[in-house]
């Protein structure tokens, strides 16, 4: 479902305390949600259709925000016009700061049974299987699991 919602092989999200998001998404008239399953709401921009958030009633204290929602300055840093240069390829403006690398670096992977063998199943980080009885994460590939 996340692939369909985001149009990506792997949606990149960051979890934030819902109470710390200011102003709240719901205060923006373009922000809309729909219920995609029993406890899950997906937020999107009604003006352009971009996916924005993922909320689960089971963890209402957190809001998952898609990394692509963050403003350019947050991801890339401020434009350093004073140190810009031009060459045969055009004008280059360096950036200072930005959190794109940190926000985009995967720390965990959810629901690995939907991974694509040889592509998304070998990425680093913790992984889970949906409804795993013990709720424990693992770090291997799906191909590591063999039927007894």
Q: Which domain holds residue 77?
A: 71-99
Question: Is there a domain that residue 2 lies in?
Answer: no
Q: Is pLDDT of 111 > 70?
A: no
Question: Is there a domain that residue 137 lies in?
Answer: yes
Question: Is there a domain that residue 6 lies in?
Answer: no
Question: Is there a domain that residue 7 lies in?
Answer: no
Query: What pLDDT sits at residue 138?
Result: 76
Prediction pTM value? 0.74
- CATH assignment of the domain containing 48: 2.170.150.70
- Report the number of distinct structural domains present in the chain: 3
39: nearest Cα among 58, 23, 25? 58
Same domain (yes/no): 58, 77 = no
Query: What pLDDT sits at residue 117?
Result: 74
Same domain (yes/no): 65, 75 = no
CA 20 to chain centre: 18
**Distance of alpha carbon 67 from alpha carbon 88, whole angstroms:** 32
80: nearest Cα among 67, 63, 98? 98
Average predicted confidence (pLDDT) for the chain: 85
Same domain (yes/no): 125, 79 = no
For residue 7, the 8-state DSSP code is T
């Amino acid at each position: 479902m996340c692939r369909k919602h985001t149009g990506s092989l792997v949606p990149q999200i960051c979890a934030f305390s819902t109470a710390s998001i200011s102003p709240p998404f719901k205060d923006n008239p373009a922000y809309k949600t729909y219920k995609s399953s029993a406890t899950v709401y997906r937020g999107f921009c009604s003006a352009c259709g971009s996916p924005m958030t993922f909320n689960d009633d089971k963890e209402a204290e957190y809001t998952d925000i898609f990394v692509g929602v963050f403003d350019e300055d947050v991801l890339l840093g401020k434009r350093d016009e004073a140190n810009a240069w031009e060459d045969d390829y055009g004008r280059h403006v360096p950036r200072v700061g930005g959190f794109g690398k940190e926000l985009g670096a995967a720390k965990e992977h959810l629901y690995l049974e939907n991974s694509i063998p040889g592509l998304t199943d070998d990425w680093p980080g913790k992984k889970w299987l949906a409804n795993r009885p013990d709720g424990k994460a693992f770090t291997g590939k799906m191909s590591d699991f063999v039927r007894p």
